[in-house]
Every structure is written in structure tokens, then in C-alpha cells.
């Protein structure tokens, strides 16, 4: 990749080795990310990838951050999502507020945090305390969470949580939180919209990791699996499609790291991810349907990523950007 | 088409809506547990009226529309019956009554770990020894594998130049010594259905266990798949309809009116309508004993893709709301439709072969 | 479906194969000339048996399969007839016989330059003056515009709050003073058909030229489109089948066996089969006077896309050989199917509206 | 575009101005490219864009060459195809042969040439003379043509030609040539396969121009056309699709000029071009079907480009490249 330098490549190898040495992706899916893993991630500076060194973070540039997201996502999308939540959502929520010092404990892995980005339509009843239910939130085992409700609000735990079995990003605890806590307004404006729009490239990096993981698995399988007396890689339609997917993977990597307009990159990533993850499952035949082969998780995480983060409002943002005006639709 | 069964359809749907509640569907999905009590309950509905395959088709469609995990669980304990019906001896045909009555659960053991859709190259052997056959080998991804009382099993009885010769079908009692079933867990979807890996270790079969003639097994199984595929098409159709139900429910409840969503609705609806007509049309030929395998394969391949397409659209249109368990379960269930009973890839080869032969 | 017309289908196909030779098709395509002699020849076949719309459908499909430019030219001189048949007075209905007999060519003047598929906002006016109407305005993209003897024309007869009120239909004799037709050339495809821009300059219409009641024109035209769309679906189906014929011919002649092409064949064939069933099914409801507009719109939108898809696939599979005039002409003909008689976009809104209303 | 410098941008403007000042794209489609246009193109150095200065060419680098192809293609794909035939096909056919001096007359616009790249299955009967028919060849008004028939052969005119009406690249004369001429083998190996593979990026540049022209027309139209009482740009599905196509255009431009692997770029270009050109026609409604609006030509040229230059063999080359091995297919 022309835009990546030696340092970037070393970082990529470092993450890869870290994953292989320290993480068991199947165990993460089954037993969730625990404090052990949190500490490990923190000790290597991944947890606070974008956080200022003032708070013990690694203060990385965008390219380095995206390499981390991509590589973790390729191995375990759940880990990438955890890092994303901290650095792309939590960090910009609390920065330049009186709570930004929380980032110290976040980057050291001591404090679990969460941000509600699920486009929840929950109703919060404000009083002295905050009451209500936050539905469908990742990282239910958090010590504090950021909510957007016209304003930007932070709420400290402990929380009464109800965990749910969740199909995507299974390494993270998921469920609802029953609020009966103190809350603090940290910004009288909601930072959500800007945060989400600023995170397009970060999400594209996670998508790239999922795509890369799915394509790799399928290509590897096509080299070893025989059916009807020939290797899968000897079947034209399968190989053509896999090769086209590998092409897309490389295009996405190229435009992400060459910093093409984030709207285009995000659109391309979201339009590719599900189809590629699906075809990787197909390539594996019956085996693809079982978690042991580590490929169906890409399909699950791909549809979640797309469903939650890409819809009409993102297409509207893209269109406004392309037309250089705020369009109104009938 | 099949309008004459509208009452039956209603009856089946009522049963499904009553029994396949969200809670029940979630429970058996999470637990990967086979809902045997539902199988028994469903028997009263005449779902397995083999004299009337149209009713089977409709039952599969309507039940999968509500929940495919439960729907398939309830309609699949008879899987393989057509092999016995068409090619079995009188005793075997009689035995079928015990399957239809719910006394026994049946299954079909064809696929092997190394083969996938490649039926001709199976490695399980049934070696003749006197008037017995000694069964050795293993099977993979066998639906009902760990709950079946009997299995229709394909095994090699002789080595021939052409690999699809020399195969035979047997009716295997799973209580026999040497049979072992290892339930497979961790499926993406249809988790209420039972799937197992089987091993056969010197199982003694009598010549009475042979179905039809020795050496004709491949032909029997292909004939069977030409029938059973239409039921997979119905599964796919039902799943797609179920996904579309969720879309409409959501769009109506939230009064969504934006044009892009309207287009998506039209696209999904059109694809489902096409699936329905392909499926019913292929079925109507099949059910009057004029099968057109290319039409059946078209229906199956198209339905599988429609199920996946509609369920993905449901996820996307519902956005964050798609995380709701009863929606994401549809998505997870859909994928298998492109895989089992011949992957979409195999169907496409069947279709093009028939077309180039000149139909 | 429609198997009872298999003989008629054969007869039509024979006529088409005999008359629509590659040379003839190429000549009228290149010259953008309307083949009037073929219209006259075709009359003997009973293509316009209005008592039997199924025959019309089959004629359109089979003739467009051979060449859409000629096929549409031959089957469209009756365009608009249903408006007269359903809503005209006795004299107008009688006049239709002269259309069916081939004495007159008919056409429909609805679309305007500013409007496209937006019928309600047309600007042509028919102002009442005594017992006359004075017609002023212009029409765009009118099929048969420069060859028609008569045209069914939609015009505004009064200003109302709702734009689709106040419209009326007239039967216009194109010999009248003030009528001008400007033949439009440079079409991508269906170049044998005649397309014109019309201007109406103070044309005097008598009250006898009014079709049905004043102010109901919008409703009449919408009713008409709900019928005529099924014939556009048949055009699209025929074009797709014609493209597929070229693919098969090429694949067989060159003994192409690679798997990727086999998959493409299966995909195109499946889509065509689905188109056929959607079209025939929607038609069968329509023809027994139980129209289901959403099914008709599905058939039309799907068929249009199938025509384009199949013709593009023909180009791609044939590669450099697709440059052969008789293949690329199919490609050029196909595109209009997504545009006329309501773009695919309009169909999709119709479909979603009907579905959300609860069918 | 990050990889394009000031000089590149000036070149782009130059071509644009040249087109607007000197060319009438509709006239080109109807009356073909004539000697006048040939001379004009030559005088500005476009005709010999890649030809060595020794022969009067401009000796441009790849980026400049691609800018020229893109910009001409956007205005008139036929002109781009003409320049492509000379620089991407003819030049590498005759270079380092005794006929390379022909390039002098080619770059000056004095000599029309052609190369048979249509995957013709014609049969040539060699003797003293060459006899036979070259079917479906562009530039039938050539003074000499290069043929590949196991070898690389050059044949001088005059030729007996039969012109055909042709749906694509209408600015070029098209038809068949009845050979009864002298021929010379200029390379005992066929250079065709390598030439075609080397031209991927050049073809992607032509595709980019077509895509860019089609998207521009559609977006412009969506800003001025009203239907059902609103501008087209107020209709969500239309705008979303156009915006996604505009995204693709920008991605293609980015990967082409950042010199991503040509196999991936070509695949992306060929998978996008027809769909985009088709939708541009759709956007124009009935008007799109008429040549006056200058948009249906993109659709015609798009399908020709894809049909002629992209098929199973190119997908095989992509697959071999992706798998890093020569795959065999059952």
C-alpha cells in the first residue's frame, strides 16, 4: 500500500502478533472480553489508541488507529468494536468537559465505559436522578455511560443491567440498563451527530477487517477443500467471485489509507461488507454455518454493523455532501 | 394456485401463531433444543398427509413464516419418507405409518464430511457378508441425526468404475450397536432443529434393511432430492414472507413514508411474489407426477436467495431495531436456505444442464 | 398457463420468423422507418382479437422475442383502444372496428414534455366554446404520433383544486386543422416504431369527440394503463427471451462449457421464468376482470429489468461477437422497457402503496 | 485528488477546453472523426500521447495519458478510443520492430492505423499475399493494420472495406476489411496478450470518463428537471443512487491515479460502468432514449467496452493474480 510506511507495517505486525499470542477469538465470543483482556489491551496502548498521552493514551494518528481497528477486527470484530467505542465515541464525548480526566482510567483499562449509539428511542425521565431504560446497549458492564438526549450526558454506575443474548459482536456484553442514577450534563448540545459522522473512517476500518477476515478464510478454504474431485479453487464461479471480493478488499484498503473522502469510503465499505461475509459462509458450505469455523461471526457482525450504522440518514449525509447542499426530500 | 387449500393454510397459520410464540421460538433457538412436544402437537393437523403434498408445502411455508427453527423442526421428522414410499418394500412402506403417526422420527443420512453436495463420492460402506451388510463410516450435518429412531442411509455396497454406481440405501435403526450420534451445536440459525455427526462402527444390517435394489441408491437419492427441494423452496419462501411481515409491521408502526423505503418494500415484495409463483408452479408439476427438475431447482435457488435477501433487508430497514431477537433470528435462519439440499451453486448447474439439453 | 393458446403461439412465431428476418429488422431499425406493410400483413393473424386479450399478450411476447422494433410496430396501432372500448359511446366503439380491420392507425396522446410519467399535471387544454372544444398544447414521445389517423388525447377541460380532476379524453382526428406531428428520430432502440412530438394549435373538437364524461379523463387513462402495462410486461418478457435465444445459440454453436457461463445461463433462465410467471399470473387476473394492479406493476417493473438484464448478459457473454447487429439491436431495444408506460420507479410506488393499504 | 499535481490539473483543463472549443460530440457521432479532427488532435500532441519524441510524440507519463483518456472519454468516448488504439495498442505492437518509424506519421495524424483487438476468430490464408476477412474492426479507414495470428503481423493498405453501422464508439468507422494485400511478420510471437493486459489502466481511464460523463449529465438533469411538482433531486431513491454512483466515480479516479493494482481497478471499472450509464439514461426518462441528450451514447459505449474487453479470460487473469498461481478450471 503506497500510503503506508515502514512504521505502519510494523504496527500492523505488532497487532497481528498480539492477537495470535494473547487472544482466543472463539473464547472471546463465548465468554466475552474480560478484565484480563482489558488490561492486556491497555498495557499495549490499544485501549487508549487516540487518547492523549496526558491521560496515558497512545495519541496515535488516524492511519495508525485504523490499522489497529482493521487488524483487531479481522481477528475479533468484538475487540475492534470495544476500542472503537472508547476512542471514536467516548473520547470525543468527554473531551473538553470536566470529565475528560476519566480517560486516564479508560486508557489504563481500569474503567469500562459505554456510549449509546444505537439510535435508541428510549425515554429518559429527568429529575434529580435519571430514570428510565437504555435498551440495546453494548458494554453493559460499564462504570459509566454517555447518553445523548438533546444534550450530552454522563451517568455513573453502578447500574442495574439485564443482559441479552446478542447475535453480533458477541465479545461485548449487551443488553439494557435500568437507570436510577445521578446524571450530569457535560455538554448542553448533543455531540452525537458530529461524533457519528466523524467516525465514518473508523467504522470503515472495522468493516475492512471483517471483509479481510472473511475473504482470507474463504480463499484459504478454497485451497484445501475438495468437492466433486477437485479443489474449490478450480471452480470458476467461486474463484471469480472470491477474486472480485479480494479486489474490493484491496480497493477499500487503498481508499481508506489514502484518505479519500470518508463518505465515499464508508459507502463502499457498507455496500461490500454483507455480500462478502455472506459469500464467505457460502464458500464453506455446511461448515460455514457452524461457529467452529469462525466465519459465520463475520456475517453476523457485518449485518449488525451495516444495520446499525448505515441507513437512510447516512445516505442523506452522503447525498448532501455529493450535491453540496442540504437536500430536502418529498 | 393452491387456493383450494386456503382454509388449511389458515388453520396451519393459527396453529403456528398460537404455538410458536416469540418466547418459545427464542427459548429453543437459544438452547439449541429440539421441541419434540411441538412435533407431537402438530400431528393432529395432518401436516404429513403424504397423499397430499400440497398440504405439506403449505404447512412448511406458513410455519417457517412464523419461525423457521420451529417450523422446520415440526415438518422434518418425516425427512426421507419419500425414499421408502417410492422404492421401499411393503414392510418398509408399512413402517412409514409409524412415522406419520409420530411414533418414530425419521431422518436421512447422505452427506459426509468430505463431500458436501457431492453425493456420488461418499465413503460409507455397507459390505455384504453372507446375508448381512456391515455398515462402516460416518455422516455429517444430518438433520434429526441425534433424535431419529430410523435413518435412510446411503452407503457404498460395491466399487464401480463410475462412482455413482455401487451405492445403496438402507433403513437403519439407530438403536443398533455401533451407531453413534454426536449432536452438533453452534449453528448460526435454525437452532431448534437437530443436527448431528454420525458414526457407523460395524453395524450389522440385514438384507431386509435394504431399500429397493442394491446399486440403485444414487438414483433413489437424486429422485428424492428432486422432490424434497420443493419443500426447501417453501422454507425459503416462508422465511422471506416472515421477514417481510417484520418490515411491514415496523414501517406501519413507525409511519415511515420515505420514498427509499417504499422502493425497498416494492423490491422485496416483487421478489417474494416471484418466489411464490416459481415455487407453486414447480410444485404443481411435481405433484401431478410430471416433475420438471429445472423448475424445481430454479424455485429452490431463487427462494434461498430471496430468504437471505429479504432477511437482510429486514435488518437494514429496521436498523438498530433489528437487534430485537425476533428479527435477527429470521436473519440467522435464512442463510441455510442457500446451502442445504444442494447449494445454490449445484442448483445452477442442474438448471443450465437441463436447458442446454433442450428441456 | 395459457397453454390452450399453444397453437396460436406457434402460428404467431411462424409469422414472425418468416417476416421478421434479420434483413428486415436491420433495415427498419437503421432507417427509423415504420413497417406499415407488416402491420397490414399481420392483421390476418387475428392479433388484435380484443375479445381475447390472452392472444394479444402472446402475440406481443412472441413477436418481440424475434424483434421488438417490428413486434411493437405490428402490435401497437391499436394503442388506446381500451379507452374507447370501456368508456366510449356507441359510435366510438363502432369506429374501433376500422382500427381493428387495419383501416385506421390509432394512438394515445397523454405524455407531455414537462411531465414524463406525471399525468395529472398535463398542460394541454380543451376549452369549451359553445358546443365545441378548442384544443391547444403539445404532447411528447407519442407512439404512432406521426402515422396515426386518430389519437386518444388527454386534455384539461377545467381548472380544479386537485390537478387530476378536470381532465378529459377526446378522440382526435389527425387530419384536423391545427394538428402537427414532428417525427422524433435518434432513438436508441425500437427504431421501427414511430414516435412524435405533437402540437395542437386551436384544433376545433366537437362534443361528439369527447370520450365518456368530461372531467373523468384521469381515471380513464389510469384504468387504461392498468391494462396496457401487462402488454409492456409481455414486450419485456419477449425481449428477454430473444436475448436468451442468442445466448443459447452462441453457447451451443461454440460448445462453451465453462462453469461461469453455465451459472450465467441459470441466472438468466431463472429470471425469465419468474418474469413469465409474474406476467401470466397478473394477466390471468386482469383478463377475468379481477385486476390486481400491484401484480401488474410487479410484472411490468420486473419484466423491464429482466429485458435489460438479459440483453446486457447477451452482450457480455457473446463478447466481441455481440457486435453482430442482430444481437446489439436487442440490447438497444430493451432499455425503453424500464421507461415507458410508467417508469420502473412509478411502478414501485404503485406496488408499495397497494401493499401498505393492505391489498 | 491527492496524487495529482498542479501540472496534471492544467493538463486536465487543457483537454477540457480543447474539447469545448474544437469538437462537436454530436457531429463526431454522426459524421465520424475526420482528417480535420485527426490533425487537430495531432497538433496538440494528443494523437501521439505516449509515442517517443523521436517520432514527434508527447512521450507522456501514465498519469498524464490517463487524464487525457478520461477527459476525452467524458466528452466523446470515440476520441478516447482512437487515442487508445494508437497509444495502447498500435504503439506497443510496432515498437522495436522495423516498422516503428511509422509512428512518425501516426503521431502527426497523417496516417490512420488500426489493430485487431476484437478477439476475432477470422481465418487468414497466408500466401505471398494475405487473403481473408477481418471482421468487426474499428478504424476501417486505416492505411495499415496490425493483426495477431500466433504472430504479430502488419498489413499495408489500401484495403477493400465494408462499413457497417455500429452501435458503439460511433465516431470511428467500423466494419470489415477484405484482405488481398502484402503482409509482414514484425514479431514472430503474438504481442496481443501482453498488450491487452498492459492496457487495463488505460481502459479503466476510458471507463472513468464514460462514468464521469454519465454521472454529470444525470446530476445536472436532476437539478433542473421537475416531475410531480418537485425537482428530481428531491426524490430520495434517485438521489441516493446517483450519489452512490458519484462515490464510485471518485473511488475509481482515486485508485486509478494512485496506481492501485491494475487488475482491481479494471475489475471495479468494468463492474460499475454499465450500471452507471444505464441509470443515467433512466434518470433522463424518455429524453434519455434519444441521442440529442447525449447520454444514451454512454450506455452504448459502456456495454461495448465491457463486452469486448472484459470477460472470462480477464476474470481468469484477475484470479491468477489474486491466487498468485496459474489456476486450472474444471
A262: domain CATH number? 1.20.140.10
| Distance from the C319 Cα atom to the nearest Cα atom in chain D, whole angstroms | 4
Is position A302 within any domain?
A: yes
How confident is residue C324, by pLDDT bands cut at 50, 70 and 90? confident
Q: Are C50 and C100 in contact (CB under 8 A)?
A: yes
A chain contacts of residue D266, beta-carbon cutoff 8 Å: none
Q: Which residues of chain B are under the pLDDT cut of 70?
A: 116, 359
User: Among residues C147, C181, C215, which one ends one of the domains?
Assistant: C215
Q: Do A243 and D328 touch (CB under 8 A)?
A: no
Residue B247 shares a structural domain with residue B324: yes
**CATH number of the domain residue D79 falls in:** 1.10.540.10
Is position A329 within any domain?
A: no
Peptide bond into C213 cis (omega under 30): no
Total Cβ atoms within 10 A of residue A6: 7
Total Cβ atoms within 10 A of residue C287: 18
Residue C242 shares a structural domain with residue C324: yes
Q: How confident is the model at residue D1, as a pLDDT?
A: 47
D chain contacts of residue C336, beta-carbon cutoff 8 Å: 289
Q: Do A234 and D327 touch (CB under 8 A)?
A: yes
Q: Which of A204, A231, A326, A327 to mutate to test the interface with D (most CBs of D within 10 A)?
A: A327
| Distance from the B320 Cα atom to the nearest Cα atom in chain A, whole angstroms | 5
User: SS3 for A187?
Assistant: strand
Residue B67 shares a structural domain with residue B157: no
* pLDDT tens, residue by residue, A303-327: 999 999 999 999 999 999 999 999 9
Residue B115 forms contact with A (CB below 8 Å): yes
Q: Is the pLDDT of residue C359 over 60?
A: no
Residue D185 shares a structural domain with residue D241: no
Q: Do D165 and C30 touch (CB under 8 A)?
A: yes
B chain contacts of residue C298, beta-carbon cutoff 8 Å: 266, 269-270, 273-274
Q: Is the pLDDT of residue C115 over 80?
A: no
Stretch C170-187: mean pLDDT = 98
Residue B122 forms contact with A (CB below 8 Å): no
Residue D226 forms contact with A (CB below 8 Å): no
Q: What is the mean pLDDT of chain A?
A: 93
Write the residue in D118, D286, D291 that is nearest to C186 by C-beta: D291
Domain of A151 in residue numbering reads as 113-190
Write the residue in A274, A282, A307 that is nearest to B339 by C-beta: A282
Residue B260 shares a structural domain with residue B208: no
> Could you write out the DSSP letters of every residue in D51-87?
S-GGGT-----HHHHHHHHHHHHHH-HHHHHHHHIII
Residue C291 shares a structural domain with residue C193: no
Q: Are D266 and D203 in contact (CB under 8 A)?
A: yes
% of chain A at pLDDT higher than 70: 96
Residue D119 shares a structural domain with residue D62: no
Q: How confident is the model at residue D124, as a pLDDT?
A: 66
List C-alpha distances in Å: B284 to B1, B2, B54, B291. 8, 9, 8, 9
Count how many domains chain C has: 3
Q: Is the pLDDT of residue D3 over 80?
A: no
Q: Which of A175, A227, A272, A277 to mutate to test the interface with B (most CBs of B within 10 A)?
A: A227
| Distance from the C188 Cα atom to the nearest Cα atom in chain D, whole angstroms | 5
Residue B141 shares a structural domain with residue B207: yes
Is position A217 within any domain?
A: yes
Longest pairwise C-alpha distance within chain A:
71
Q: How confident is the model at residue B49, as a pLDDT?
A: 76
Is position D312 within any domain?
A: yes
| Distance from the B259 Cα atom to the nearest Cα atom in chain D, whole angstroms | 6
Q: Among the options C32, C112, C241, C341, which is catalytic?
A: C341
User: Among residues B215, B246, B269, which one ends one of the domains?
Assistant: B215
Q: How confident is the model at residue B236, as a pLDDT?
A: 98
A chain contacts of residue D239, beta-carbon cutoff 8 Å: 319, 323, 327, 329
| Distance from the D276 Cα atom to the nearest Cα atom in chain B, whole angstroms | 18
A chain contacts of residue C263, beta-carbon cutoff 8 Å: 237
Q: Are D47 and D108 in contact (CB under 8 A)?
A: yes
| Distance from the B263 Cα atom to the nearest Cα atom in chain D, whole angstroms | 7
Q: How confident is the model at residue A2, as a pLDDT?
A: 54
* pLDDT tens, residue by residue, C27-72: 999 999 999 999 999 988 877 777 789 999 999 999 999 999 999 9
* pLDDT tens, residue by residue, D147-176: 998 899 999 999 999 998 778 899 999 999
Residue A208 shares a structural domain with residue A301: yes
Residue B338 forms contact with A (CB below 8 Å): yes
User: Among residues D167, D190, D213, which one ends one of the domains?
Assistant: D190
Q: How confident is the model at residue A294, as a pLDDT?
A: 93
- DSSP H helices, B203-292, are 217-253, 259-287
Residue B242 shares a structural domain with residue B303: yes
Q: Is the pLDDT of residue D23 over 60?
A: yes
Residue D174 shares a structural domain with residue D81: no
Pairing relationship of beta strands A113-115 and A144-148 according to DSSP bridges: parallel
**CATH number of the domain residue B113 falls in:** 2.40.110.10
Tell me C174's DSSP state. Answer: T
- Distance between CA atoms of D19 and D171, rounded to whole angstroms? 14
Residue A177 shares a structural domain with residue A211: no
Residue C318 shares a structural domain with residue C207: no
Q: Which of D236, D239, D330 to mutate to test the interface with B (most CBs of B within 10 A)?
A: D236
Angle between helices B53-66 and B259-287 (to 10 degrees): 160
Residue C181 shares a structural domain with residue C260: no
State ipTM.
0.96
Write the residue in A234, A260, A327 that is nearest to D234 by C-beta: A327
% of chain C at pLDDT higher than 90: 86
Q: Do B339 and A315 touch (CB under 8 A)?
A: no
- Distance between CA atoms of D329 and D327, rounded to whole angstroms? 6
Exposure string over B22-59, b if 16+ CB within 10 A, otherwise e: eebbbebbeebebbeebbeebbebbbbeeeebbbbbbb
Write the residue in C248, C270, C301 that is nearest to B270 by C-beta: C301
List C-alpha distances in Å: D291 to A115, C333, D30, D37, D179. 54, 14, 10, 21, 34
* pLDDT tens, residue by residue, C147-157: 999 999 999 99
Q: How confident is the model at residue A123, as a pLDDT?
A: 64
Q: How confident is the model at residue A122, as a pLDDT?
A: 57
Residues in chain C, total = 359
Is position A261 within any domain?
A: yes
Lowest mean pLDDT among A99-103, C287-291, D73-77: C287-291
Neighbours of chain C (3+ CB pairs under 8 A): A, B, D
* pLDDT tens, residue by residue, A157-193: 999 999 987 788 999 999 999 988 888 999 999 999 9
Stretch C229-242: mean pLDDT = 97
Residue D96 shares a structural domain with residue D128: no
Write the residue in B248, B266, B275 that is nearest to C351 by C-beta: B266
User: Among residues D190, D213, D241, which one ends one of the domains?
Assistant: D190
Residue B188 forms contact with A (CB below 8 Å): yes
Residue D240 forms contact with A (CB below 8 Å): yes
Residue D178 shares a structural domain with residue D248: no
Write the residue in A250, A258, A327 that is nearest to D261 by C-beta: A250
Residue B202 shares a structural domain with residue B261: no
Residue C349 shares a structural domain with residue C226: yes
A chain contacts of residue B312, beta-carbon cutoff 8 Å: 274, 278, 303
Domain of B153 in residue numbering reads as 82-215
Count how many domains chain D has: 3
User: Among residues C11, C41, C75, which one ends one of the domains?
Assistant: C75
Residue C13 shares a structural domain with residue C53: yes
Pairing relationship of beta strands C210-211 and D113-115 according to DSSP bridges: unpaired
Q: Do A311 and B319 touch (CB under 8 A)?
A: yes
**CATH number of the domain residue D182 falls in:** 2.40.110.10
A237 → chain C, closest CA residue: C260
Sign of torsion over alpha carbons B284, B289, B291, B296: positive
Q: What is the pTM of this model?
A: 0.96
User: Among residues A142, A159, A190, which one ends one of the domains?
Assistant: A190
**CATH number of the domain residue C227 falls in:** 1.20.140.10
Lowest mean pLDDT among B54-58, C9-13, D226-230: D226-230
Amino acid at each position: 500500500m503506497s500510503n503506508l510506511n515502514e512504521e505502519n507495517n510494523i504496527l500492523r505486525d505488532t497487532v497481528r502478533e498480539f492477537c495470535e499470542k494473547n487472544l482466543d477469538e472463539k473464547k472471546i465470543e463465548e465468554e466475552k472480553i474480560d478484565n484480563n483482556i482489558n488490561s492486556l489491551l491497555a498495557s499495549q496502548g490499544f485501549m487508549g489508541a487516540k487518547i492523549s498521552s496526558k491521560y496515558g493514551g497512545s495519541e496515535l494518528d488516524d492511519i495508525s488507529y485504523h490499522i489497529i481497528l482493521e487488524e483487531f477486527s479481522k481477528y475479533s470484530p468484538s475487540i475492534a468494536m470495544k476500542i472503537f467505542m472508547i476512542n471514536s465515541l467516548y473520547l470525543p464525548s468527554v473531551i473538553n468537559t470536566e470529565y475528560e480526566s476519566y480517560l486516564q482510567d479508560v486508557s489504563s483499562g481500569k474503567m469500562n465505559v459505554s456510549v449509546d449509539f444505537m439510535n435508541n428511542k428510549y425515554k429518559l425521565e429527568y429529575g434529580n436522578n435519571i430514570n428510565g431504560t437504555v435498551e440495546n446497549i453494548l458494554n453493559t458492564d460499564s462504570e459509566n455511560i454517555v447518553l445523548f438526549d438533546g444534550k450530552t450526558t454522563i451517568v455513573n454506575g453502578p447500574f442495574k443491567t439485564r443482559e441479552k443474548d446478542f447475535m453480533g459482536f458477541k465479545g461485548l456484553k449487551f443488553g439494557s440498563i435500568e437507570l436510577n442514577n445521578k446524571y450530569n450534563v457535560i455538554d448542553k448540545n448533543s455531540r452525537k451527530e458530529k461524533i457519528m459522522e466523524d467516525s465514518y473512517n473508523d467504522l470503515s476500518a472495522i468493516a475492512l477487517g471483517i471483509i479481510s477476515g472473511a475473504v482470507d478464510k474463504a480463499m484459504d478454504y478454497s485451497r484445501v477443500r475438495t468437492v466433486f474431485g477437485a479443489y474449490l479453487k478450480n471452480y470458476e464461479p467461486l474463484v471469480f467471485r472470491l477474486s472480485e471480493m479480494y479486489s474490493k478488499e484491496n480497493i477499500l484498503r487503498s481508499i481508506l489509507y489514502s484518505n479519500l473522502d470518508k463518505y465515499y469510503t464508508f459507502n463502499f465499505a457498507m455496500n461490500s461488507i454483507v455480500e462478502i461475509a455472506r459469500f464467505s459462509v457460502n464458500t464453506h458450505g455446511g461448515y460455514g454455518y457452524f461457529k467452529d469455523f469462525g466465519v459465520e461471526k463475520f456475517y453476523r457482525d457485518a449485518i449488525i454493523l451495516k444495520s446499525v450504522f448505515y441507513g437512510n440518514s447516512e445516505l442523506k449525509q452522503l447525498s448532501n455532501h455529493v450535491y453540496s447542499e442540504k437536500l430536502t426530500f418529498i | 394456485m393452491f387456493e383450494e387449500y386456503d382454509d388449511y393454510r389458515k388453520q396451519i397459520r393459527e396453529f403456528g401463531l398460537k404455538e410458536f410464540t416469540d418466547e418459545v421460538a427464542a427459548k429453543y433457538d437459544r438452547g439449541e433444543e429440539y421441541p419434540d412436544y411441538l412435533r407431537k402437537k402438530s400431528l393432529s393437523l395432518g401436516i404429513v398427509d403424504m397423499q397430499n403434498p400440497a398440504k405439506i408445502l403449505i404447512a412448511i411455508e406458513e410455519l417457517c413464516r412464523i419461525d423457521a427453527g420451529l417450523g422446520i423442526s415440526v415438518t422434518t421428522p418425516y425427512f426421507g419418507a419419500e425414499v421408502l414410499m417410492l422404492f421401499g418394500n411393503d414392510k418398509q412402506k408399512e413402517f412409514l405409518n409409524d412415522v406419520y403417526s409420530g411414533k418414530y422420527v425419521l431422518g436421512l443420512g447422505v452427506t459426509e464430511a468430505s463431500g458436501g453436495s457431492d453425493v456420488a463420492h461418499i465413503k460409507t460402506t455397507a459390505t455384504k457378508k453372507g446375508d448381512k451388510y456391515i455398515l462402516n463410516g460416518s455422516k455429517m450435518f444430518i438433520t434429526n441425526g441425534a433424535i431419529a429412531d430410523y435413518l435412510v442411509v446411503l452407503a457404498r455396497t460395491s466399487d464401480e468404475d463410475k462412482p455413482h454406481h455401487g451405492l445403496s440405501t438402507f433403513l437403519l435403526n439407530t438403536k443398533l450397536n455401533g451407531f453413534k450420534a454426536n449432536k452438533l451445536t453452534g449453528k448460526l440459525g435454525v437452532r431448534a432443529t437437530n443436527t448431528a455427526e454420525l458414526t457407523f462402527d460395524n453395524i450389522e444390517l440385514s438384507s431386509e434393511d435394504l431399500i429397493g435394489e442394491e446399486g440403485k441408491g444414487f438414483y433413489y437419492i437424486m429422485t428424492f432430492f428432486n422432490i424434497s427441494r420443493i419443500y426447501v423452496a417453501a422454507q425459503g419462501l416462508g422465511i422471506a414472507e416472515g421477514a417481510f411481515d417484520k418490515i411491514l409491521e415496523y414501517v406501519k408502526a413507525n409511519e415511515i413514508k420515505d420514498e427509499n423505503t417504499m422502493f425497498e418494500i416494492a423490491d422485496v415484495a416483487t421478489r417474494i411474489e416471484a418466489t411464490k409463483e416459481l415455487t407453486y408452479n414447480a410444485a404443481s408439476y411435481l405433484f401431478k407426477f410430471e416433475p420438471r427438475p429445472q423448475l424445481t431447482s430454479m424455485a429452490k435457488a431463487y427462494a434461498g436467495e430471496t430468504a437471505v435477501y429479504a432477511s437482510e433487508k429486514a435488518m437494514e430497514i429496521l436498523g438498530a431495531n433489528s437487534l430485537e431477537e425476533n428479527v435477527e433470528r429470521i436473519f440467522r435462519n435464512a442463510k441455510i436456505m442457500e446451502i442445504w439440499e444442494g447449494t445454490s451453486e449445484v442448483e445452477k448447474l442442474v438448471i443450465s444442464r437441463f436447458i442446454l439439453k433442450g428441456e
